[in-house]
Amino acid sequence: MKPKIKLDKIDRRILEILQANAKITNAQLANEIGLSPAPTLERVKKLEVSGIIKSYHAMLDNEKVGLGVSTFVMVSLKGHNKVNIEAFTQAINEIDEVIECHHITGSGDFILKIIAQDIAAYQKLMLEKVTNIEVVDNMQSLVILSTFKDSKVMPIP
Amino acid sequence: MKPKIKLDKIDRRILEILQANAKITNAQLANEIGLSPAPTLERVKKLEVSGIIKSYHAMLDNEKVGLGVSTFVMVSLKGHNKVNIEAFTQAINEIDEVIECHHITGSGDFILKIIAQDIAAYQKLMLEKVTNIEVVDNMQSLVILSTFKDSKVMPIP
DNA sequence: TTATACCACAAAATATTATTTGGTGCGAAG
DNA sequence: CTTCGCACCAAATAATATTTTGTGGTATAA
């Protein structure tokens, strides 16, 4: 039962704009896409209700809020079984500093993205919370030195 | 010349809320933090002007817009020198499907996040655009099978 | 072809929300 | 002790979202 959502060119344009700038007013948005405010708003609401637009978020400057260290961590579990995976994801969910957790193909099982104040805080976090999750076999940290691209706009086909 | 921005408990609460839900009205936000609308708005504006809040973005449901495949790609360059890095990042910047590009420590030099419609489109993208960037030595793709956590809320210290 | 139901849209009225204004109290510096 | 400046509140105003109403175009079925 897929509702078969079809997006026309205008919808895609709306999505593009709102991904880049969610704070645009409806009037401005209407102007950019060449419609009047009423149908523009209708379209946006439709996109929200259908779940195509999931949510809206403020993005912060990590440095300025005192979060200077970001890392990716490759994690291998002791076994690939369902029980271990559930134990791991549950443990991960309780750690605020882990902002992403993806199950991936390849030699590692999971990749995490972790945010911390500095290297010291990162080390402490890893030692105290992450490393000693029971089902973890081994881990490899990749510290981000600099970020060249971090786009919030998906390439809508 | 660092303006030394200090955040009190209320500011941090505001940031937390706006990261989770940027569409909250100022009145609601004021209510949640226990202030009246006027000073609440003042604080938000201050956070925006100071650059602590960088931007606001709509987040889409990738599946529903027809983007079923997400991957991480580990990339090694032929040399670590500045020229190669610039050549690489510039090439990457032109590819919309590459939504993140980070320079990292460790054996690989870069980690990318790439979004595509499906495996076929992903393969095509890699073959035609990514693989033949001159300075790339080798790459390893990690396909995301499922995502267990993808938080937009940073743990503000 | 013609009738009919349905969208998508624009314009204007209304409701909601943001923003400004003026005034008060409190803490820090002189 | 006084004064300055800041953070705050309440209320007025301005901007914006949202609803309502009516129209034209288009696909569908007789």
Other beta carbons within 10 angstroms of residue B110's beta carbon come to 22
SS (H, E, C) chain B: CCCCCCCCHHHHHHHHHHHHCCCCCHHHHHHHHCCCHHHHHHHHHHHHHCCCEEEEEEEECCCCCCCCEEEEEEEEECCCCHHHHHHHHHHHHCCCCEEEEEEECCCCCEEEEEEECCHHHHHHHHHHHHCCCCCEEEEEEEEEEEEEEECCCCCCC
Q: What pLDDT score does A2 carry?
A: 44
Element (H, E) at A29: helix A26-33
Do residue B18 and residue B78 come from a single domain? no
Q: Is residue B32 part of a domain?
A: yes
Whether A1 has a pLDDT exceeding 90, the answer reads no
On the question of pLDDT at B70 being above 80, the answer is yes
Percent of chain B with pLDDT over 70: 96
Instruction: Tell me if chain A has a CB within 8 Å of the CB of B90.
Output: no
Determine, yes or no, domain membership for A27.
Answer: yes
Q: Which of A2, A90, A104 to mutate to test the interface with B (most CBs of B within 10 A)?
A: A104
What domain count does chain A have? 2
Using CA atoms in the order A47, A50, A52, A53, what is the torsion angle rounded to 10 degrees? 60
B91 and B128 belong to one structural domain:
yes
Which CATH number does the domain housing residue B28 bear?
Answer: 1.10.10.10
B1, pLDDT greater than 50: no
CA B12 – CA B97 distance, rounded (Å): 33
Say whether both A78 and A110 belong to one domain: yes
Q: Does A156 touch chain B (CB under 8 A)?
A: yes
Return the pLDDT at B121.
Answer: 98
Stretch B32-56: mean pLDDT:
96
Q: Output the pLDDT for position B4.
A: 55
* Burial (0-12, 13-18, 19+ Cβ within 10 Å), B112: buried
Query: Scanning every residue of chain A, which has its alpha carbon at the shortest distance from the alpha carbon of B150?
Result: A100
> Which residues are A116's β-sheet partners?
A69
The CATH number assigned to the domain holding A85 equals 3.30.70.920
Task: For residue A151, report the phi and psi dihedrals to the nearest 5 degrees.
Answer: -80, 140
Q: Least CB-CB distance to A143: which of B20, B70, B105?
A: B105
Nearest 5°: CA angle at A143, between A142 and A146?
125
How confident is the model over A55-104, as pLDDT tens digits?
Answer: 999 999 999 999 999 999 999 999 888 899 999 999 999 999 999 999 99
Q: How confident is the model at residue A139 (pLDDT cuts 50, 70, 90)?
A: very high
Residues A44 and A73 in one domain: no
- Judged against a pLDDT cut of 90, whether residue A3 lies above it is answered with no
With CA atoms as reference, the chain A residue closest to B2 would be: A64
* Residue B146 neighbours by CB under 8 Å, 6+ apart: A102, A103
Q: Which residues contact B157 (CB under 8 A, 6 or more apart)?
A: A65, A66, A67, A117, A121
CB A5 under 7 Å to nucleic chain C: no
Residue with tokens 């993140």: B100
Range of the domain at B20: 9-49
Please report the residues numbered 104 through 123 in chain B whose beta carbons come closer than 8 angstroms to any beta carbon of chain A.
Answer: 104-106, 108, 111, 115, 117, 121
Among residues of chain B, what percentage have pLDDT more than 90? 91
**Model confidence at B108: pLDDT above 80:** no
Q: Is residue B36 part of a domain?
A: yes
Residue B148 falls inside a structural domain: no
Do B86 and B121 sit in the same domain of this protein?
A: yes
- pLDDT tens track for A119-130: 999 999 999 999
Task: Estimate in Å the CA A11 to C1' C4 gap, whole number.
Answer: 29
* pLDDT band at B80; cut points 50, 70, 90: confident
**Distance of alpha carbon A17 from alpha carbon A12, whole angstroms:** 9
Q: What is the pLDDT of residues A13-56, one digit of tens each?
A: 999 999 999 999 999 999 999 999 999 999 999 999 999 999 99
Which one is predicted more confidently, A4 or A91? A91
Query: What are B9-19's pLDDT values in tens digits?
Result: 999 999 999 99
Chain centre to alpha carbon of residue B65: 19
Written as six digits, the tokens of A54 are 């999931």
- Identify whether A116 is part of a domain: yes
| CA end-to-end span of chain B | 22
CA angle (A113, A114, A116) in 5-degree steps: 155
Does residue A63 belong to any structural domain of this protein? no
Which pLDDT score is estimated for A81? Answer: 87
